Amino acid sequence: MTDSVEMFETIIDLTRSIYGDGFIPLHRPVFDGNEKQYLIDCIDSNFVSSVGKRVTEFEQKIAAFTGAKHAVATVNGTAALHVSLLLAGVERGDEVISQAVTFIATCNALSYAGAHAVFVDVDRETLGMSPDALRRFLAAHVTRRSGQAFNKRTGRRIAACVPMHTFGLPCRIEEIVALCRDSGITVIEDAAESLGSYVGRRHTGTFGKMATLSFNGNKVITTGGGGMIITDDDELAVRAKHLTTTAKIPHPYEFVHDLTGFNYRMPNLNAALGCAQMEELPRFLAIKADVARRYGEFFDRHDIQYMRAPAGTKSNYWLNAIVLDSLAERDAFLEYSNAQGVMTRPIWRLMTRLEMYKDCQHDGLENSRWLEERVINLPSSVPDSAIVAT
């Protein structure tokens, strides 16, 4: 245990060399650009809710940055995923394949749509859905009827697949999309954590039919609370904006709604923050890449597994992650680091270990369970750039 404590101390020293003294949060927002001015402009214009030029501007900036044809802003990433599932044709009683290594919002969105979650395992190298596990599941449990996939065990239609780019590390999304295409399953990428991550030169979130982003307070850029649907499909983009705007038919004064819609549009105030944050995004990503480099070099020297972007991909390193040797070591480090004022956390508890999703079908989740016992997130904020080595 003495050796472990010495190693823990060394990790804390490294973290403080990056972030300084005092309490170090896991990921804090940085507002040192035009955020205040854009908010003041918003207030002065009186357009503070979901009607305002900053909403459209933010959507255009996200579309341009990701290379998606369309972007539709929402109040949060969960709302974005909920609407995406509906746009993909997911109906109450359908099944959606996802991963048990994820934040609860992914599964909550499935529940909002009335869908049943089915979980396949992840890769240890990416923490994202494993195409190998997906291939095995499809071969063992899926039959095709009239071009659609059905689960042979439950008889339910499998309407969609939602893989996630965990902590900003791109999963093997091209293989997943190909498998689902062959099975008649729509892919919606949960790219909530991967703004600024790429597979080759292509941004995450542009491989599936749609994808969702999150701008929560702890993301690479933040709008306080907010999300986005991105897609290349013209019709889906129009429907997304319609559904998230209470399905109101545009009219100067009449209130006519043709569907059960949702009050999910992002307010102009939040979008103003987003526009200012987008101006800083390249700088944020460059600094975070340098933080990741310093972490990586340190953990290589000490023979501790540091989670890097797989070959041929680029990560935004939203949350830096290491893999320790055991559950006991994980828990000891969590207790030690947090007691020292350095915030660390374990990976999320597996969805199948939560009461709401404990009875969902899964494939054994061998890698997921292994990772749950070992993965730790380290502080990953954008620090003062003067502190970061160049």
Residue-level pLDDT at 385: 55
Are the C-beta atoms of 79 and 267 separated by less than 8 Å?
Answer: no
Residue for token pair 């991550």: 197
Tens-level pLDDT at each residue, the chain (390 residues): 447 889 999 999 999 999 999 999 999 999 999 999 999 999 999 989 878 899 999 999 999 999 999 999 999 999 999 999 999 999 999 999 999 999 999 999 999 999 999 999 999 999 999 999 999 999 999 999 999 999 999 999 999 999 999 999 999 999 999 999 999 999 999 999 999 999 999 999 999 999 999 999 999 999 999 999 999 999 999 999 999 999 999 998 999 999 999 999 999 999 999 999 999 999 999 999 999 999 999 999 999 999 999 999 999 999 999 999 999 999 999 999 999 999 999 999 999 999 999 999 999 999 999 999 999 999 999 998 544 443
Residue-level pLDDT at 201: 97
Closest by alpha carbon to 273, among 86, 64, 48?
A: 48
Residue-level pLDDT at 52: 87
Residue-level pLDDT at 329: 96
The CB density around residue 363, as the number of other CB atoms within 10 Å, is: 18
Largest CA distance in the chain: 72
- Counting Cα atoms < 13 Å in the Cβ hemisphere of 325 gives 7
Residue-level pLDDT at 387: 46
Q: CA 153 to CA 142: how far, in whole Å? A: 9
Residue-level pLDDT at 50: 79
Residue-level pLDDT at 1: 44
Residue-level pLDDT at 273: 98
Closest by alpha carbon to 370, among 354, 340, 389, 347?
A: 347
Are the C-beta atoms of 211 and 230 separated by less than 8 Å?
Answer: yes
Q: What is the 3-state secondary structure (H, E, C) of the chain?
A: CHHHHHHHHHHHHHHHHHHCCCCECCCCCCCCCCHHHHHHHHHHHCCCCCCCHHHHHHHHHHHHHHCCCEEEEECCHHHHHHHHHHHCCCCCCCEEEEECCCCHHHHHHHHHCCCEEEEECECCCCCCECHHHHHHHHHHHEEEECCEEEECCCCCEEEEECCECHHHCCCCHHHHHHHHHHHCCEEEEECCCCCCCEECCEECCCCCCEEEEECCCCCCCCCCCCEEEEECCHHHHHHHHHHCECCECCCCCCCCECCCCCECECCHHHHHHHHHHHHHHHHHHHHHHHHHHHHHHHHHHCCCEECCCCCCEECCCCCEEEECCCHHHHHHHHHHHHHCCECCEECCCCHHHCHHHCCCCECCCHHHHHHHCCEEEECCCCCCCCCCCC
Q: CA 150 to CA 141: how far, in whole Å? A: 8
Residue for token pair 């746009």: 87
Domains of the chain: 2-30+281-378 (3.90.1150.10), 35-276 (3.40.640.10)
